[in-house]
Amino acid sequence: MKSLKKVELHLHLEGAAPPAFIRGLAREHHTDLSGMFDDQGRYHYRGFNDFLRVYEAATSVVRGPADYARLLSAVLNECGEQGAIYVELFVSPEFCGDADLSAWRDHLGAMEEVAKAYALSGVESRAILTCIRHYGPDRAKKTAICAAETAGGWVAGLGLAGAEDLGEPKDFAWSFDCAREAGLGLTAHAGEWRGPESVRGVLDLGVTRIGHGIRAIEDPALVRDLAEREITLEVCPGSNVALGVVRDWASHPIARLADAGVRVTVSTDDPPFFHTTLSREYDMLADRFGWAETEFRQMNLWAAEAAFCDNETRDRLK
């Protein structure tokens, strides 16, 4: 399904780093990442907490603006290969320590130059600066301030990722209010590791989209609410299967959510960690649920409508 034009709303920049790219940076920075890769050179972890550990260790070798620019270039190149015409990338400054984030203007400036070059070749992108739940609300505030101060160009949103079972959504209300006042789009991971009450918690933060959100299926009233309020779910089925959120593709609730009128879209989350690609996700949806041109077109329209971009860009995606 590579040739189909796609809009991807949920891709972590750090989680999309090719393992060989990370090994190269580890050598340059004299950092030992042994044990993080299997004998085929792929990321190696057991379960979600270990995934977060390996993910953060890999991210620790991506350091200054030049490293981030090279990473973005590698990632957008692969997005283009997958037929993506628009991508929103979660970028988490908090992985660079809890120091003052004012230096992040330089990181973002270097990435924006790369993003502009790829936009000229047909892969448009925006960044969603992303708070890490398990680092707590104080560090999140710094990310929100950084996002608010850089809003308007490449930075288009604020997100919340990390361990869903640590901390309540309301703990991050200050950060989400700050971002909303700056005109940023809002999304948060929920309904991946926790159930419906977690999804309701992020709705109270004022998000228009939810990362994953699939466990809303456990509560029919919530499913109706999501459909009525036109909340868009950034569903990443391959991630859910690889991390064990669902047993297998056949039992994934994406088709049931779509049938209930919820705006579902499809993304890859952290593709090399889950041995997936955007076109593979489409192939699997076609194979397991019989989805074809009509369903994919509808999904990409919803993604375009929910994208955190200006209307002129949005119209080009439809």
Report in angstroms how near the CB of residue 26 gets to ligand ADE at its nearest. Answer: 20
Q: Tell me how far, at minimum, the Cβ of 251 lies from ligand ADE, in Å.
A: 18
Give the x-and-dash track for 247-276 against ligand ADE (CB under 6 A): ----------------------xx------
Q: For Zn ion, which stretch binds (CB under 5 A), given 68-76, 243-251, 268-276, 293-301?
A: 268-276
Nearer to ligand ADE, 265 or 304 (CB): 265
Query: What is the full DSSP assignment across 199-213?
Result: HHHHHTTT-SEEEE-
Q: Does 192 qualify as catalytic in the annotation?
A: yes
Nearest residue to the partner Zn ion, using Cβ: 269
| Residue 162 interacting partner from ligand ADE, Zn ion, none (CB closer than 5 to 8 Å by kind) | ligand ADE
The length of the chain in residues reads 318
Collapse the DSSP code of 162 into the 3-class scheme (helix H, G, I; strand E, B; otherwise coil) and give the result: coil
161 touches ligand ADE (CB under 6 A): yes
198 binds ligand ADE (CB under 6 A): no
Helix (H, G, I), strand (E, B) or coil at 251: helix
Q: Show the tokens assigned to 206.
A: 């004022």
Going by C-alpha positions, the residue among 223, 216, 225 that lies closest to residue 245 is: 216
Minimum CB separation from ligand ADE for residue 218, in Å?
A: 18
Rounded to a whole number of angstroms, the minimum distance from the CB of residue 212 to ligand ADE is 7
Q: Which of 112, 124, 192, 234 does the annotation list as catalytic?
A: 192
Round to whole Å and give the CA distance between 234 and 208: 11
| Residue 70 interacting entry, from ligand ADE, Zn ion, none, C-beta within 5 to 8 Å by type | none
Max CA pair span of the chain: 53
For residue 131, CA distances in Å to 7, 92, 164 come to: 23, 6, 12
Place of tokens 């952290």: 270
Among 94, 269, 281, 295, binds Zn ion (CB under 5 A): 269
Which of 15/201 has CB closer to ligand ADE?
15
List of E strands, 36-117 = 84-91
Residue 142 interaction partner, one of ligand ADE, Zn ion, none, beta carbon < 5-8 Å per kind: none
Q: 294 phi and psi, to 5 degrees?
A: -60, -50
Among 192, 234, 281, 295, which residue sits at the site for ligand ADE (rule: CB under 6 A)?
Answer: 192
For residues 127 and 114, the answer to whether their CB atoms sit within 8 Å is no
Q: Residue 265: in which H helix or E strand, if any?
A: strand 263-266
- Contacts with ligand ADE: how many residues (CB under 6 A)? 9
* Sheet strands side by side (includes 209-212): 6-12, 84-91, 124-132, 155-161, 185-190, 209-212, 232-235, 263-266
Query: Would you count residue 191 as binding ligand ADE (CB under 6 A)?
Result: no
Candidate residues 12, 139, 142, 252; the one interacting with ligand ADE per rule CB under 6 A = 12
Nearest distance from C-beta of residue 48 to ligand ADE, angstroms: 7
18, with CB counted inside 10 A (0-12, 13-18, 19+), is: middle
Q: How far is residue 184 CA from its own chain's centroid? A: 16
Would you tell me which residues interact with Zn ion (CB under 5 A)? 269
Q: Which residues are catalytic?
A: 192
Would you tell me which residues interact with ligand ADE (CB under 6 A)? 12, 15, 161-162, 189, 192, 239, 269-270
